[in-house]
Amino acid sequence: MGVVEVSVTTLSFLGATRTVTGSKFLIETDAGHRVLVDCGLFQGFKERRLRNWAPFPVSPGSIDAILVTHAHIDHCGYIPRLVKMGFSGPIHATADTRRLAAIVLPDSGHLQEREAEYANRRGYSKHKPALPLYTRQEAVDSLEQFRDVAFDEPVGIVDGLTATFRWAGHILGSASIDVDIEGSSGRRRVVFSGDLGRSTHPLLRPADPVGPADVLLTESTYGNRAHPEQDVPEFLAKLINRTAGRGGVIVIPSFAVDRTEVVLWHLEQLVSGGAVPNLPIYVDSPMATAALEVYEEAVRRGSPEIRPELAGTELFSDLNLTAVRDVEGSKALNSRHGPMIIISASGMATGGRVLHHLASRIGDHRNLVLMVGFQVPGTRGDRLLRGEKHIKMLGRYFRVRAEIERLELSAHADRDDLVSWVGSCQPPPETVYVVHGEEEASLALAQTINDELDLMAVVPTLGEKVSLDA
Ligand SMILES: [Zn+2]
């Protein structure tokens, strides 16, 4: 007996399910088009990183287009890999996301080449020879497929599918995306939250409220937590003065994009108010320096993403700030004495120049290592905060004697922000899919949405496929 094939529009969860990394959501329309929303890298525990090497579930060449919510690696870092495997369509993103992706993607390729090289030299890779997922050059080449999208203007992506990017207030350029699909079962709207910012971001305007949706995907990074009422200026001033008082060095592993700007903004407030000495600050990350220029430029031209009161101003002119450009300058910092502040990527100490600073400073009790954001379980940042006394970096172990602290500077909405964002979706969606959170956080947020908003909220599993039809 023959089976009647009914074509439906579907959504597949190819990443960021019960984990905060690897965001990838594949829409397959009943007319046979494929659109991927976000194309992020898996990070953290080795078993998760290994997923980056798995074959892609559909032929990359069969995907018509990619929509990117923002320039964080866990949302765009897989793009060069997909291009390498045959994806040749357009990549739609806002102009600032494209500018920032042009900084972070080549850097990601570079890091992967370096890691492969290092593993080969030290012989600690299981693959022989170790290979990068993609190279710096492959990342640069993939940038040619980016197409700028304006906020709030619907863009035709493929026949019967339109996308509208909405301001998400998370980092410069960040968007939530409304996807309107005209299928055989009528018109349907799926809204992808991307990552949502906090309304307290000192540089960026708060996110725009979500409009109506039939299906809503929400991030849940902090789905089980309210941000503590930490008095950031007071706590930061205390840490700086204490460390400076013992002649120590403050090493801040920082996410290169956005977090560095927020850290500098707080430092500038403290310095201008006389709460801390105007210590030398070294931003030692080519990526952070390049991203800083994109932020400074957006502030100068008064971009609508920036808080209106900052428009047209010059950021960080009061700080004793040095951007370290080359490797020699970076190495020279090792022989400098404190007190001083070194801000360097990566934010979870998974790679980058900050490893060399940690290697040279972490064994001295006078120094302070200050983590400034969410730490994916299994990363070095997470291990340090859990109090591990020996930490492996660059192929060997180091003893941890420096003070380790955490400053709550998350760029993510917390549980209450997320619930009110979902609640602002009117009329309410039929289904809310809770993604982009560790399992506990996603399950807790789904429960809260069920209880407090009386909506059906589900936490999908990796590879799960659902119908988007009515
Ligand atoms: Zn993000």
What are the DSSP calls for 172-194, one per residue? TT-EEEEEEEEETTEEEEEEE--
Pairing status of strand 281-283 against strand 175-183: unpaired
Inter-CA distances, 312 with 264, 296, 323, Å: 18, 10, 22
Instruction: Tell me the CA–centroid distance for residue 96 and ligand 1, in Å.
Output: 14
pLDDT of residue 222: 87
For residue 157, count other CB atoms closer than 10 A to its CB.
23
The arithmetic mean of pLDDT across residues 450-455, rounded, is: 96
Instruction: Tell me the CA–centroid distance for residue 170 and ligand 1, in Å.
Output: 7
Q: Which CATH architecture has domain 10-225+412-467?
A: 4-Layer Sandwich (3.60)
**Coil vs helix vs strand at 49:** helix
Of 361 and 48, the structure prediction assigns the larger pLDDT to: 361
The string of pLDDT tens digits covering residues 85-116 is: 999 999 999 999 999 999 999 999 998 898 88
Instruction: Tell me the CA–centroid distance for residue 257 and ligand 1, in Å.
Output: 10
Instruction: Tell me the CA–centroid distance for residue 116 and ligand 1, in Å.
Output: 26
Instruction: Tell me the CA–centroid distance for residue 411 and ligand 1, in Å.
Output: 8
Residue with tokens 């659109």: 35
Reported confidence tier of residue 127, pLDDT bands at 50, 70, 90: low
pLDDT of residue 261: 95
Mean pLDDT, rounded, of the chain: 93
Q: For the residues of 237-299, what is the DSSP string, one character each?
A: HHHHHHHHHTT-EEEEE--TTTHHHHHHHHHHHHHHTTSS----EEE--HHHHHHHHHHHHHH
pLDDT of residue 125: 59
Give yes or no for residue 265 having a pLDDT over 50.
Answer: yes
Give yes or no for residue 82 having a pLDDT over 80.
Answer: yes
Give yes or no for residue 20 having a pLDDT over 90.
Answer: no
The arithmetic mean of pLDDT across residues 428-456, rounded, is: 96
Instruction: Tell me the CA–centroid distance for residue 193 and ligand 1, in Å.
Output: 11
Instruction: Tell me the CA–centroid distance for residue 23 and ligand 1, in Å.
Output: 10
Inter-CA distances, 403 with 81, 141, 346, Å: 38, 42, 19
Q: Is 352 in contact with 380 (CB distance < 8 Å)?
A: no
Q: Does domain 232-406 fall into CATH 3.40.50.10890?
A: yes
pLDDT of residue 115: 81
Give yes or no for residue 410 having a pLDDT over 80.
Answer: no
Q: For the residues of 101-133, what is the DSSP string, one character each?
A: HHHHHHHHHHHHHHHHHHHHHHT--SSSS---S
Contacts of 309 (CB under 8 A, 6+ apart): none
The arithmetic mean of pLDDT across residues 203-226, rounded, is: 92
pLDDT of residue 1: 46
Instruction: Tell me the CA–centroid distance for residue 20 and ligand 1, in Å.
Output: 9
Instruction: Tell me the CA–centroid distance for residue 465 and ligand 1, in Å.
Output: 24
Domain boundaries, the chain: 10-225+412-467, 232-406
Reported confidence tier of residue 118, pLDDT bands at 50, 70, 90: confident
Instruction: Tell me the CA–centroid distance for residue 175 and ligand 1, in Å.
Output: 10
Instruction: Tell me the CA–centroid distance for residue 328 and ligand 1, in Å.
Output: 31
Instruction: Tell me the CA–centroid distance for residue 93 and ligand 1, in Å.
Output: 14
Instruction: Tell me the CA–centroid distance for residue 285 and ligand 1, in Å.
Output: 19
Biggest alpha carbon distance in the chain? 82
The string of pLDDT tens digits covering residues 23-67 is: 999 999 999 999 999 999 988 777 777 889 899 999 999 999 999
Contacts of 174 (CB under 8 A, 6+ apart): 69, 70, 71, 94, 97, 167, 168, 194, 195, 197
Inter-CA distances, 234 with 163, 326, 407, Å: 43, 34, 11
Rounded to whole angstroms, the Cα distance separating 373 from 343 reads 13
Instruction: Tell me the CA–centroid distance for residue 371 and ligand 1, in Å.
Output: 17
Reported confidence tier of residue 339, pLDDT bands at 50, 70, 90: very high
Reported confidence tier of residue 449, pLDDT bands at 50, 70, 90: very high
Q: Whose CA is closest to 250, among 121, 372, 393? A: 372
Rounded to whole angstroms, the Cα distance separating 443 from 283 reads 38
pLDDT of residue 124: 61
Instruction: Tell me the CA–centroid distance for residue 438 and ligand 1, in Å.
Output: 14
**Coil vs helix vs strand at 73:** helix
Instruction: Tell me the CA–centroid distance for residue 238 and ligand 1, in Å.
Output: 29
For 337, counting Cβ atoms within 10 Å of its Cβ (0-12 exposed, 13-18 middle, 19+ buried), the class is exposed
Reported confidence tier of residue 7, pLDDT bands at 50, 70, 90: confident
**Coil vs helix vs strand at 214:** coil
Of 298 and 43, the structure prediction assigns the larger pLDDT to: 298
In the chain, % of residues over pLDDT 70: 97
pLDDT of residue 3: 56
Instruction: Tell me the CA–centroid distance for residue 376 and ligand 1, in Å.
Output: 12
Instruction: Tell me the CA–centroid distance for residue 393 and ligand 1, in Å.
Output: 25
